[in-house]
A and B are shown apart, each in its own frame.
Chain A
Amino acid sequence: MFRRIEPSAPEGGPALTFEGREIVFYPGDSLAAALLAAGIGALRQSPVDASPRAPYCMMGVCFECLVEIDGRQNQQACLTPAHDGMVVRRQIGARQLP
């Protein structure tokens, strides 16, 4: 879906995991950009009709990029800078109340 203008990220650069898969990213990437660059399609499932959803606006207005980050649900991936060691999962359904 996307390629980088720069050569691809160096081995041993910062990395996070998405559903257990290692994703190497560039410093300055938002989490959503890092996942799109890695070819990830859907980031969440609609809690209403279970349809797959992915980042749409990349600027914080559509809320289609909601994911679970380090155990915290419903985080906007397009507004969250990618961090080394982040553990990210798909947001399935609405937020579960603790």
Chain B
Amino acid sequence: MSQGWDAIVIGAGPAGMAAAATLAEGGARALLLDEQAEPGGQIYRAIERNRSNARLSAILGPDYRRGAALVERLRASGACLRFSSSVWRVEPGAAVWSRTNGMATLDRARALVIATGAMERPVPLAGWTLPGVMTVGALQILLKTGGLVPSGRLVLAGTGPLFYLFARQCLDAGVEHLTLLDTAQSGNIPAALPHLPRAFTGQGWRYLAKGAGLLAALSLGRVKLLRGVSEIAIEGEERATAIRFRTGRASHRLGCDLIGLHEGVIPQQQLPRALGCIFDWNEGQSCFQPRRDPWGASTLPGVFIAGDAGGIVGAQASLHEGEAAALAILAELGRITPAARDARLRRVRQARDAHLTARPFLDRLYRPGPGLIAPPDHVTICRCEAVGAGSLRRAVARGALGPSQAKAFLRVGMGPCQGRLCGPSVTGLIARETDRSEAETGYYRIRDPIKPVTVGELARASQPSASHRGD
């Protein structure tokens, strides 16, 4: 077996790029794997290609363009980069199985950094499986990667920083028929206020100023914005054609051509769960996150988790978390002294914390409402197996008191997405029905392969050749 690498980093977003660059700059042999064909993660998707596209760069804005410096640093660092590579199995002791162009590869390393980032919180509501309904993040990825702009009547429904950022980008891109349905509850504002003073410290004011700027631009652009929206249902046969909803006591129905949904982001759980990392419920962010020490070390030896995969912190803080994990590994490898590590870690953690001061305010302001966690019976919860909330409630009544039992009763979570798009809702709904907390209810037990892999690909499994290794 080859012992080719000092560290393997999974995910080439801000955390993963910073981790791989810091490791390689410190003399470690680092391999960075990512499912996409280019670096950047979702936040900086297609950033290298878009540098020469002035119009698109202007629409995407300065926070996007900022990612270019990190990609340059990564390219110059000497880290080995392997793109279009899906990790489908990781064994403790850092053996990483991945698939690149139909070829399975096994890589080994002394340490592992999981930097798989966030995904958008699933938004189960009537009609969300129809073509013409996508996440806001998906619409933004289409803009970043292909310069694709929604045409026709666009409705964005949901809330949160990305929701408003994308609305603004749509305006700048010339989208003409845009309606925003903000689902945040009116009680969120007073509940968030106690967190506001702290949000003005550190770098927090930048996030507040950006948000205020977005809202101002949207009202100047005369975007139709309805607040306090609830009971959303999407209509259509072959594709979405209309959206129904309520504001207060009034019901509305809008014809539309494309719908974007967004209720914030949550950590991607699949990989650390399959490995056996311990998770805790984060009440403030309404999601599970892996338990970590201050350097990002998980509950498994040699396994670090950095950036949004460890709890939602945003791109800038993610970058610093990637550096922190890399410094801890460099010291472990004997490449830097513990004293040097501690000195650098202090600065890195200070820089990270400065970006987190506005987080509690934003988390509370955009907390998902109860309708999202407990949708009506006819709403599909598990898209892959087409299981509705009513079936799940009946299964709970018959004794399925946890997600894994619900799986056995109903096949929820057993389709191709392996529970990624139903897990959070299944936990939330069972917790409500049984009057227990999410922490007590728990989550699916995730097993690898976490990405589909065929027997043929396994048969062609190869070891990386010596030329692939760092030196």
Contact = CB atoms under 8 A, between A and B. Distances in A.
Interface of A: 1-6, 26, 28-30, 33-34, 36-37, 41-42, 46, 48-49, 51-64, 66, 74, 79, 81
Interface string B370-398: 00000000000001111000000000000
Given A56-B133, A58-B138, A60-B35, A4 B415 contact: no
A51 to B, nearest CB: 6
> In terms of DSSP, what is the predominant structure of the interface of chain B?
loop
Nearest to A3: B151
Interface string B104-147: 00000000000000011000000001111111011001100111
B36 interface: yes
Contact of B421 (A6, A49, A62, A81): A62
Give the interface residue-count category, chain B: 35 or more
A52 B42 contact: no
B129 A5 contact: no
B150 A41 contact: no
- Smallest CB-CB A-B distances: 6 pairs: A54-B131, A58-B138, A63-B416, A5-B147, A41-B131, A58-B141
Contact of B268 (A28, A49, A61, A62): A61
B257 interface: yes
Interface in B331-389: 383-386
A5 B135 contact: no
A42 B149 contact: no
Interface of B: 35-37, 42, 46, 49, 55-56, 59, 84, 86, 119-120, 129-135, 137-138, 141-142, 145-152, 173, 238-239, 257-258, 268, 383-386, 415-417, 420-421, 452
B420 A61 contact: yes
B148 to A, nearest CB: 4
Contact of A1 (B35, B132, B147): B132
A39 B150 CA distance: 11
Nearest to B41: A59
Contacts of A1: 132, 150-152, 257-258
A48 B385 contact: yes
A49 B131 CA distance: 15
A46 B146 CA distance: 27
Contact of A79 (B36, B49, B55): B36
9 contacts: A1-B257, A1-B258, A2-B149, A26-B147, A33-B145, A52-B130, A55-B138, A57-B137, A63-B416
Contacts of B384: 46, 48, 63
B134 A29 contact: no
A56 B120 CA distance: 11
